Amino acid sequence: MSIIIKTDEEIDAMRQAGRIVAAILEILSKQIKAGTETRELDNIVAREVKRRGAKSSFQGYRGFPANLCVSVNDEIVHGIPGKRVLREGDIVSLDFGAIFKGFQADAAVTVAVGKVNEKAKGLIETTEGTLETGINAARSGARLGDISATIQNYAESRGYSVVREYTGHGIGREMHEEPQIPNFGLPGSGPVLKKGMTFALEPMVNVGDWRTRVGDNHWTVFTADGSLSAHFEHTIVITDGEPEVLTRGVYA
Ligand code: MG
């Protein structure tokens, strides 16, 4: 197993997939309000990927039954959209990946439903900050463990925990390529980062303990202690300088 270095053409295909992911997440974010059924979000994704000549990375992946993951409150990841109705004060993690011209991009965002309490607000802000600081550590010549350690330190120094059983990942022709990118680890460890490597960084941050449990549907992952969890993700490419974020929206 090795980390695939992408050509400029391959990165450009991922850039196009990334723009689609960003645009669709932006559309979904605007639909997050009290009274929305989570399956309505799935319908929007089905329509929007088709309109753009793309496909969902998630639909059918290991049998996953929807176009995106919608995870509410103590649900961390892999929530299946359905009849659940969003309520004022909920927090909702939207995780979506697209395939376009044979290449993939993957991103996630956690959105507040109406007005949320300070605890939820702090969690969302911290998780987004955790991702941004992780992205900033993703430099040519640094090591993979530098990203992991940066993410862990940012979240834990603010009193939160990072989920350990689920990780970021390489991405390209496949949604999940080598390497796994844990959201915890030791600086200076792991492979050296090189220009042209493409990663999906995705810290999942909990208010309480880092431990998880999988729900009765065999997909949805919950915090074991029932505390709130947030999830932010971007697909990035290592360059000679600052990493390029492929899923940052122009929101076209
Ligand atoms: Mg991912």
| Residue 69 CA to ligand 1 centre (angstroms) | 11
- All residues with CB under 5 Å from ion ligand 1: 106, 200, 202
Average pLDDT over residues 82-86: 98
Return mean pLDDT, the chain. 97
The CATH number of domain 8-245, selected from 1.10.1660.10, 3.40.1350.10, 3.90.230.10, 3.40.50.1860: 3.90.230.10
Q: Domain ranges in the chain?
A: 8-245
Residue 56 confidence class, pLDDT cut points 50, 70, 90: very high
pLDDT of residue 249: 78
- For residues 248 and 200, the answer to whether their CB atoms sit within 8 Å is no
Instruction: Please state the pTM of the whole predicted model.
Output: 0.97
- For residues 140 and 91, the answer to whether their CB atoms sit within 8 Å is no
pLDDT of residue 181: 98
User: Is the model's pLDDT at 251 over the cut of 80?
Assistant: no
pLDDT of residue 1: 62
221-237, pLDDT tens digit by residue? Answer: 999 999 999 999 999 99
d(CA 93, CA 25): 11
| Residue 104 CA to ligand 1 centre (angstroms) | 10
pLDDT of residue 252: 42
Q: Which of 48-62, 134-148, 153-167, 237-251 has the lowest mean pLDDT?
A: 237-251
